[in-house]
Amino acid sequence: MIIVLKPKAKKKDADEILKQISSAGLKPLYLPGTERTVLGAIGDERILENLHLDNHPLVDRIDPILTLYKMVSREIHPKDSIVKIGSLPIGGKKCALIAGPCAIESKPQLLATARAVKESGGHCLRGGAYKPRSSPYSFQGLGVEGLKLLKEASQKHDLPTVTEVIEVADIEYVESYADAFQVGARNMQNFRLLKELGQSKKPVILKRGMSAKLEELLLAAEYIVAEGNPNVILCERGIRTFETAFRNTLDLNAVPYLKKRTHLPVIVDPSHGTGLKELVLPMARAAIACGADGLMIEVHNKPKVALSDGKQSLSPKEFRTFVQNLKPFISAVNKTV
């Protein structure tokens, strides 16, 4: 429920009502505005009815939150949230460029790729140490060894990092070596994992499941935020459709739809969204045009010999051209790189 206080209500009045909300077992939210204060009560709404706050002299009105997701909804938090990965803000004026290999394969591979990302103007290094692969015979990632290489590359090239976490037991390692967690498409509804990530303060890039509805994506984000971690970034990475010309169909409808309903930043991954390197630039441009707060791009120092996702990975030279060709589109939406 959203409880709008009368303009004359003071902070101490708000505190008193928040206390009542909390003692009734609901989650209290304090949302001060320029003109008036709004409070939130998250949980079983029937409990709130018993508090009879509608009769309170300083309560102007009580509105229900209509969506199933509450904390991530714009209804409760009308302003855009800016989530920081290290010192990189995601959301707001800057268009964030997160780039790097699908998988961390070796020290020379990661360092060469990180250097290329930095030199071309990338802001954050990605790279998987734990890889959820469709085949058990495919490269599964270097594990902690890979995380150590990621940290080394991060320090050497002054880039914050993000890497995928595929199970609860890996959280503590990923947390100590990287600046952000990635939850992959295959784990979007791994609710135990989401709840545990809610205990961390580090940001989580939550990728849309390949057959997940947007409401399910928002509810998955709600799992993390409701546990206490507000630092969630949503990522559209394509969905599975009848079309087989591409690896996935990049659903850019999702971007303006999500931006309207949630205050969380939304980024787009056109590498997995298309599976084809020649489609990465046009779809990245389209993503910027429809309001994405950033992009996640796969880059590999030698895409032809990559152990995973080589076909959709840009070489260092291609990434440089990519960034140059993207810049006018970023300026056109009044954002900066």
State the residues that interact with ligand PEP by CB under 6 A.
102, 128, 184-186, 207, 237, 272
Residue 98 Cβ, how far from ligand PEP at the closest point, in Å? 10
Residue 186 Cβ, how far from ligand PEP at the closest point, in Å? 6
* Cβ atoms 56, 17 nearer than 8 A: yes
- Nearer to Mn ion by C-beta: 293 or 309? 309
Q: Is 296 in the site for Mn ion (CB under 5 A)?
A: no
Burial of 159 (0-12, 13-18, 19+ CB in 10 A): buried
- Nearer to Mn ion by C-beta: 87 or 135? 135
Q: Is 98 in the site for Mn ion (CB under 5 A)?
A: no
- Nearer to Mn ion by C-beta: 105 or 222? 105
Among 91, 309, 313, 319, binds Mn ion (CB under 5 A): 309
Residue 300 Cβ, how far from ligand PEP at the closest point, in Å? 11
Q: Is 102 in the site for Mn ion (CB under 5 A)?
A: yes
- Percentages helix, strand, coil for the chain, rounded to the nearest 5? 40, 20, 40
Residue 209 Cβ, how far from ligand PEP at the closest point, in Å? 9
Binding residue count for Mn ion, defined by CB under 5 A = 2
Q: Is 164 in the site for Mn ion (CB under 5 A)?
A: no
At 43 the three-state DSSP class reads: coil
Q: Which residues contact 8 (CB under 8 A, 6 or more apart)?
A: 58
- Nearer to ligand PEP by C-beta: 76 or 250? 250
* Cβ atoms 175, 168 nearer than 8 A: no
Cα separation, 118 vs 138, whole angstroms = 29
Cα separation, 51 vs 18, whole angstroms = 11
